[in-house]
Amino acid sequence: DAGVIQSPRHEVTEMGQEVTLRCKPISGHDYLFWYRQTMMRGLELLIYFNNNVPIDDSGMPEDRFSAKMPNASFSTLKIQPSEPRDSAVYFCASSRQGTGELFFGEGSRLTVL
């Protein structure tokens, strides 16, 4: 298995620009999670999907953040417009029903200037 694949690994953008982060979960996994990690707040769950349907988006900080999962093999997290306080590492993780194990990607490091 290739593992959870995230892109881009690094993104530097200017305030106000749109940012799209991408995630390919492990094949056969039916849960997908988006987390954000900062020094101040640690790892925070933003949203998770089950069978491509958003289940809990209570962690999404503002309307500027949106996430989609158009099919079982792809998800996006979009920030529009981006702000400096959005700078963080964004992790995608996937899991299979009936197991207790989440598999994380290597993360996308976002810097908003």
Residues that bind another protein (CB under 8 A): 4, 31, 33, 35, 42-45, 48, 56, 91, 93, 95-107
Closer residue to another protein, CB minimum distance, 10 or 14: 10
Contact of 34 with 47, CB cutoff 8 Å: yes
- Per-residue DSSP letters for 19-63? EEEEEEPPTT--EEEEEEEETTTEEEEEEEEETTEEEE-TT--ST
Closer residue to another protein, CB minimum distance, 59 or 81: 59
> Residue 18 corresponds to which tokens in the numbers above?
């749109």
Closer residue to another protein, CB minimum distance, 63 or 101: 101
Contact of 11 with 109, CB cutoff 8 Å: yes
| Min dist. Cβ of residue 16 to another protein (A) | 28
| Min dist. Cβ of residue 50 to another protein (A) | 8
| Min dist. Cβ of residue 9 to another protein (A) | 10
